């Protein structure tokens, strides 16, 4: 570690200064109101009640509750024009102590004064006066001594210049109450109260279970650590004994697991074994890390409230849990997560640490290292829990100075492993696991950095301490990738992810870099999205915790409209393109081509894309039913489930290690050379997991352009390894009001074997339609028999959006659709070797893939796990049906390309509002100008021409036939970057010729794009 651990408590996640700051920012106020004589003064600028406001919203205090209190709330009382009724009420023992009405002016500042003296049975209230009017006292006694601050109001209300006096002494002031943050605090407090109530009703024997109800010891961070966060924070802010009692009960529950035993039955090779084992590693590293982290929070935040014996028991449990080896699942423990394989934790000579310091790269056969998990895996979460536990107890003053060596080990994993890996693959904030898993990874990145920063003494040079270069950028894929319905594309292993999910990353970006657009996104999209299910309450509890972690005072939000309309995230290979920042009306094209290949939550989806306009139109198909399921292995993560290219070779085999033969989709695959998890050097340039990824990106105002190379993602010597699959994608923004974007997708594929079936894939939720109906060729597969083999447009409709796919190349194409559920003949259903399930033939044909059989190949449906299967589901069916996909379009050349030749594909995507018809939509079709000399040119009806280099390297010369005009605006792609070119006008052959020339009149861009006749 670069600095010592602070001596003072708290220090894990927050210091006392952080707690004092959030108390002020959230207007939590003093612990209670003055008991005898008090005065509250504030200025209210009220807004008229809207559709998302409560009928009688509290302004100050709470109508609901017990004990003596007073509150001000909006009322349905008839009010003079331009005003709104505010009822002022005092309550004593369920009876009204005093009551009156105020009528502040809507949209104006109104000074409100309330004062009381309970000994004199006096209360008075005033509006825009310093001399409040006494109220009629209706009860013998009344004192708000137990009442806490609470604000709510209507949306848009402002409360400023707030002061609270005890007698004549000012005890609280707030220049402006952050009502949104305060409501978040109320939501946080509500959740903490629920947690405390649940624990209060539990008995010690009900503590261990399935993560629900009384069980606060299993279920990982979301159950165990969050319970500790709620209870410790709520107690520190309120000092209510109920929270402290619940915390002590939770501590005892965790200690029960730490010190307990249980009987476990296992079956291996047909032999059943029953034995008694300690419960200390129950739940594996996932739960043990959470228990250690929670104990650390309790020790740290409740340090002064816990007795010496309690603190000693917690410290002992933290150390024992970290050092415990799992007797049932070797390496599913914290010893492996910190130290690597074949290690133990030793205590002696004043040192609590791994037996041998783990290496930070893979050496000696993956033994004493976790370097292969720095990019992906659970070890980062495990080390985070260990860090929280050891940072809480790990000082000389706490009697645990001997844990410093292990703290150094854990810190090195972050500073030399986890953080550099994240900074590399997500150098611009992107991730190969967008969008769902990257949310938890990004949010956790920010919080774990905070853990280290706040626990250490201040450094003279902060740059020498915990740093994460990408932290301010992590939010940007979520700004650019947000869809009109408030969700994100179902890329990679996907569970429900919406604009509220990346809020912590946005808050962290504001704190780290003062980012005004991140602040805007946080306020206008993240927080409202979280509150959408209860828009009238608006009490998202996450904001309060995030603002405690990430201070944001002084940052003025700026709208997104000044950001470019596309963004490229290097290495991760994410490119996000849109036509407007009006999310509801935006067409979002999401492209991915990573510069490396892995498997964990990372699909075989290089050079693929999705398209959204008012609904998912072209999508990643399948469902995240369960990590490692039959559907996951054979369909969901595979290329055949994505909008990319497959290259089917009947001699090819896909397998999972040496145990299971998988479906043969013809797609991308790590292969034997790239099995297992890579370490950082493996995915960097020249590493065995490295790919070419995105090779060019350009934002041109009315267009965005991305070129990528996925050749190395395919194995078994099918494609040219340097230029086997090149894809160029051009996103065209409309030139005229009312028009929608168009997308051009151009592919060149170079096989190095004969008899390969090369297919361009597109996936949709609903069945595509065309000018003719398709004919069933076998169950779940339907062929379009277009006249002369020339593909007609296919239209895909979903909700209010649609896209029409115009296949320009191949000129002679086989077009087939595959899928459907509940129509046509029954499909063969794949046997599930992972959960030993055999399925009967069924009309569910949505996920068809070839599988080798004794007689050849058969199309089999790899069904998702259903709840009726009684198999736990990771995604739990959260994929909306419109995102899961039910149909696949397959486009392939009529004649298989020969070895050494080049096969071109060119699809033009026409986006529009759903016409509600059941045939191909009318489109302004693009025209193929030429496809020869390694060049493909196409013209749009609006007069723009586009020329693609179809060669394997940047072109020094391109030739194409002219369109209707020799001065048409033309974009040429795939040239040598930053190079001069000369243009020769069409001769007798009607072709333009663009040639590299030092004296040429035209200059290609840094991305190999050249503009002619730009308008």
* Beta strand residue intervals within 733-800, DSSP E: 742-749, 757-764, 775-778, 781-784, 794-798
Question: CATH classification of 27-177 is 3.40.50.300, yes or no?
Answer: no
CATH hierarchy code of domain 927-1012? 2.60.40
> What is the mean predicted confidence (pLDDT) over 677-706?
96
Name the residue with higher pLDDT: 947 or 834: 947
476 within 8 A of 859, measured Cβ to Cβ: no
Residue ranges, comma separated, of all CATH 2.70.98.70 domains in the chain are: 594-706+755-913
The confidence score (pLDDT) of residue 536 equals 81
The confidence score (pLDDT) of residue 879 equals 56
Whether residue 208 is predicted with pLDDT greater than 50 in this model: the reply is: no
Percent of the chain with pLDDT over 70: 97
The confidence score (pLDDT) of residue 877 equals 47
Residue ranges, comma separated, of all CATH 2.60.40 domains in the chain are: 927-1012
Mean model confidence pLDDT for the chain? 93
Backbone angles phi, psi at 227, to 5 degrees: -60, -45
Percent of the chain with pLDDT over 90: 80
DSSP H stretches of helix in 801-950: 881-884
> What is the mean predicted confidence (pLDDT) over 292-297?
98
Integer Cα distance of 292 and 838 in angstroms: 42
pLDDT bracket for residue 222 (50, 70, 90): confident
pLDDT bracket for residue 210 (50, 70, 90): very low
Q: Which conformational region is residue 65 in: left (phi greater than 0), alpha (psi within -120 to 50 degrees), or beta? A: left
> What does the pLDDT look like over 409-452, one tens digit per residue?
999 999 999 999 999 999 999 999 999 999 988 899 999 999 99
The per-type count for the chain, helices as H runs and strands as E runs, is 19, 46
491 within 8 A of 435, measured Cβ to Cβ: yes
The confidence score (pLDDT) of residue 1002 equals 97
The confidence score (pLDDT) of residue 881 equals 66
> What is the mean predicted confidence (pLDDT) over 732-757?
95
> What does the pLDDT look like over 878-931, one tens digit per residue?
456 678 999 999 999 999 999 999 999 999 999 999 999 999 999 999 999 999
pLDDT bracket for residue 259 (50, 70, 90): confident
Q: Which residues, in sequence order, are bridge partners of residue 913?
A: 801
Whether residue 93 is predicted with pLDDT greater than 90 in this model: the reply is: no
What's the maximum distance between 2 C-alpha atoms anywhere in the chain?
107
The confidence score (pLDDT) of residue 139 equals 77
> What is the mean predicted confidence (pLDDT) over 324-335?
92
Whether residue 840 is predicted with pLDDT greater than 90 in this model: the reply is: yes
> What does the pLDDT look like over 800-814, one tens digit per residue?
999 999 999 999 999
The confidence score (pLDDT) of residue 724 equals 98
Q: Please give the torsion angle defined by the CA atoms of residues 415, 419, 420 and 424, in that order, rounded to the nearest 10 degrees.
A: -170
Whether residue 649 is predicted with pLDDT greater than 50 in this model: the reply is: yes
> Cis (ω within 30 of 0) for the bond into 616?
no
The confidence score (pLDDT) of residue 361 equals 84
216 within 8 A of 229, measured Cβ to Cβ: no
Residue ranges, comma separated, of all CATH 2.60.120.200 domains in the chain are: 27-177
Whether residue 14 is predicted with pLDDT greater than 70 in this model: the reply is: yes
Helix, strand, or coil here: 102? strand
Name the DSSP class of 429.
Answer: S
The confidence score (pLDDT) of residue 196 equals 94
The confidence score (pLDDT) of residue 814 equals 97
| pTM of the predicted structure, to 2 decimals | 0.95
pLDDT bracket for residue 330 (50, 70, 90): confident
The confidence score (pLDDT) of residue 140 equals 74
CATH hierarchy code of domain 594-706+755-913? 2.70.98.70
Across the beta sheet with 69-74, what order do the strands follow?
A: 58-60, 69-74, 86-92, 95-102
The confidence score (pLDDT) of residue 204 equals 61
- CA distances 228 to 142, 232, 295, 312, 922, Å, are 36, 6, 8, 18, 59
The confidence score (pLDDT) of residue 48 equals 94
Integer Cα distance of 864 and 869 in angstroms: 10
Integer Cα distance of 352 and 345 in angstroms: 7
> What is the mean predicted confidence (pLDDT) over 56-85?
92
Spatial CB neighbours of 326, under 8 Å, sequence gap ≥ 6: 281, 284, 332, 333
The confidence score (pLDDT) of residue 363 equals 67
The confidence score (pLDDT) of residue 552 equals 87
> What does the pLDDT look like over 770-796, one tens digit per residue?
999 999 999 999 999 999 989 999 999
- CA distances 951 to 594, 608, 704, 928, Å, are 22, 20, 21, 18
The confidence score (pLDDT) of residue 594 equals 98
The confidence score (pLDDT) of residue 261 equals 87
> What is the mean predicted confidence (pLDDT) over 183-201?
94
> What does the pLDDT look like over 481-510, one tens digit per residue?
999 999 999 999 998 899 999 999 999 999
Integer Cα distance of 698 and 1005 in angstroms: 9
Integer Cα distance of 359 and 708 in angstroms: 35
The confidence score (pLDDT) of residue 209 equals 45
């Amino acid at each position: 570690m670069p600095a010592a651990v602070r001596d003072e408590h708290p220090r894990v996640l927050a210091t006392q200064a952080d707690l004092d700051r959030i108390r002020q920012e959230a207007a939590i106020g003093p612990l209670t109101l003055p008991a005898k004589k008090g005065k509250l003064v504030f200025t209210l600028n009220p807004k008229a009640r809207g559709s998302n406001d409560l009928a009688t919203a509290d302004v100050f205090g709470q109508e609901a509750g017990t004990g003596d209190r007073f509150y001000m709330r909006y009322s349905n009382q008839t009010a003079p024009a331009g005003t709104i009724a505010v009822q002022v009420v005092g309550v004593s023992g369920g009876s009204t102590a005093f009551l009156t009405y105020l009528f502040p002016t809507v949209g104006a500042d109104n000074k409100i004064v309330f004062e009381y003296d309970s000994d004199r049975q006096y209360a008075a209230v005033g509006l825009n006066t310093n001399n409040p009017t006494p109220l009629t006292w209706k009860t013998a006694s009344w004192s708000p001594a137990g009442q806490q601050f609470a604000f709510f109001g209507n949306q848009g209300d402002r409360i400023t210049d707030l002061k609270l006096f005890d007698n004549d002494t000012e005890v609280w002031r707030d220049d402006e109450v952050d009502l949104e943050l305060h409501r978040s605090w109320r939501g946080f407090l509500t959740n903490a109260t629920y947690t405390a109530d649940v624990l209060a009703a539990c008995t010690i024997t009900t503590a261990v279970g399935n993560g629900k109800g009384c069980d606060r010891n299993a279920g990982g961070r979301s159950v165990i650590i969050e319970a500790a966060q709620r209870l410790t924070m709520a107690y520190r802010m309120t000092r209510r004994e109920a929270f402290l009692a619940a915390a002590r009960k939770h501590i005892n529950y965790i200690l029960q697991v730490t010190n307990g035993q249980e009987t476990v039955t296992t079956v291996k090779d047909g032999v059943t074994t029953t034995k008694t084992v300690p419960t200390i590693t129950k739940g594996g590293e996932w739960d043990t890390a959470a228990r250690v982290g929670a104990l650390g929070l309790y020790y740290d935040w409740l340090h002064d409230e816990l007795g010496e014996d309690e603190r000693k028991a917690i410290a002992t449990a933290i150390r024992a849990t970290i050092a415990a080896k799992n007797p049932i699942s070797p390496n599913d423990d914290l010893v492996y997560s910190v130290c690597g394989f074949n290690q133990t934790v030793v205590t002696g000579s004043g040192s609590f640490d791994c037996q041998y310091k783990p290496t930070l790269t893979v050496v000696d056969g993956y033994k004493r290292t976790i370097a292969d998990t720095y990019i992906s895996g659970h070890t980062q979460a495990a080390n985070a829990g260990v860090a929280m536990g050891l940072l809480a107890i790990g000082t000389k003053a706490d009697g645990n100075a001997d844990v410093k060596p292990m703290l150094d080990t854990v810190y090195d994993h972050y500073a030399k492993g986890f953080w550099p890996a994240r900074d590399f693959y997500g150098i611009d904030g992107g991730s190969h696991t967008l969008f769902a898993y990257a949310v938890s990874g990004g949010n956790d990145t920010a919080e774990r950095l905070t853990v280290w920063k706040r626990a250490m003494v201040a450094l003279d040079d902060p740059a020498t301490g915990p740093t994460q270069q990408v932290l301010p950028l992590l939010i940007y894929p979520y700004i650019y990738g947000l869809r009109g319905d408030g969700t994100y594309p179902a890329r990679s292993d996907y569970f429900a992810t919406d604009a509220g999910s990346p809020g912590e990353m946005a808050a962290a970006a504001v704190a780290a870099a003062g980012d005004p657009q991140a602040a805007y996104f946080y306020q206008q999209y993240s927080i409202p999205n979280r509150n959408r299910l209860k828009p009238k309450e608006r009490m998202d509890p996450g904001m309060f915790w995030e603002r405690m972690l990430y201070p944001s005072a002084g940052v003025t939000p700026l709208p997104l409209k000044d950001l470019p309309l596309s963004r490229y995230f290097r290495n991760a290979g994410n490119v996000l393109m849109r036509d407007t920042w009006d999310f509801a009306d935006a067409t979002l094209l999401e492209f991915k081509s990573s510069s490396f290949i892995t498997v964990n939550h990372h699909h075989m989806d290089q050079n693929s894309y999705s398209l959204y306009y008012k609904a998912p139109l072209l999508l990643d198909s399948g469902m995240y039913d369960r990590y490692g399921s039959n559907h996951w292995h054979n369909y969901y993560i595979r290329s055949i489930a994505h909008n990319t290219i497959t290259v089917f070779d009947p001699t090819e085999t896909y397998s999972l290690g040496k145990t299971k033969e998988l479906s043969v989709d013809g797609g991308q695959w790590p292969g034997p050379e790239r099995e297992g998890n890579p370490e950082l050097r493996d995915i960097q340039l020249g590493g065995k997991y490295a790919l070419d990824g995105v090779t060019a990106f350009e934002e041109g105002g009315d267009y965005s352009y991305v070129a990528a190379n996925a050749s190395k993602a395919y194995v078994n010597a099918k494609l040219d390894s340097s230029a086997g699959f090149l894809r160029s994608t051009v996103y065209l923004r409309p030139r005229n009001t009312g028009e929608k974007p168009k997308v051009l997708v151009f592919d060149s594929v170079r096989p190095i074997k004969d008899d390969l079936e090369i297919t361009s894939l597109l996936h949709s939720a609903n069945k595509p339609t065309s000018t003719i109906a398709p004919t069933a060729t076998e169950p779940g597969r339907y062929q379009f028999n277009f006249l002369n083999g020339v593909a007609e447009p296919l239209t895909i409709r979903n909700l209010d959006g649609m896209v029409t796919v115009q296949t320009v190349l191949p000129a002679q194409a086989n077009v087939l659709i595959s899928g459907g559920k509940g129509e046509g003949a029954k499909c063969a259903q794949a046997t599930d070797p992972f959960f030993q399930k055999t399925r009967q033939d069924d009309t569910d044909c949505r996920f068809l893939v070839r599988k080798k059989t004794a007689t050849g190949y058969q199309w089999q449906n790899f069904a998702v796990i259903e709840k009726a299967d009684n198999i736990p589901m990771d995604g739990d069916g959260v994929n909306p049906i419109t995102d899961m996909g039910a149909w696949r379009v397959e486009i392939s050349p009529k004649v298989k390309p020969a070895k050494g030749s080049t096969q071109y594909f060119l699809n033009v995507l026409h986006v529009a509002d759903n016409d509600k018809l059941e045939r191909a939509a009318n489109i302004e079709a693009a025209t193929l100008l030429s496809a020869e000399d390694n060049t493909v040119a196409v013209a749009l009806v609006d007069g723009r021409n586009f020329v693609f280099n179809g060669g394997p390297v940047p072109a020094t010369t391109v030739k194409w036939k002219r369109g209707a005009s020799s001065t048409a605006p033309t974009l040429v792609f795939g040239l040598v970057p930053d190079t001069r070119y000369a243009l020769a006008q069409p001769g007798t052959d009607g072709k333009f010729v663009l040639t590299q020339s030092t004296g040429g009149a035209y200059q290609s861009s840094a991305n190999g794009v050249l503009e002619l006749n730009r308008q």
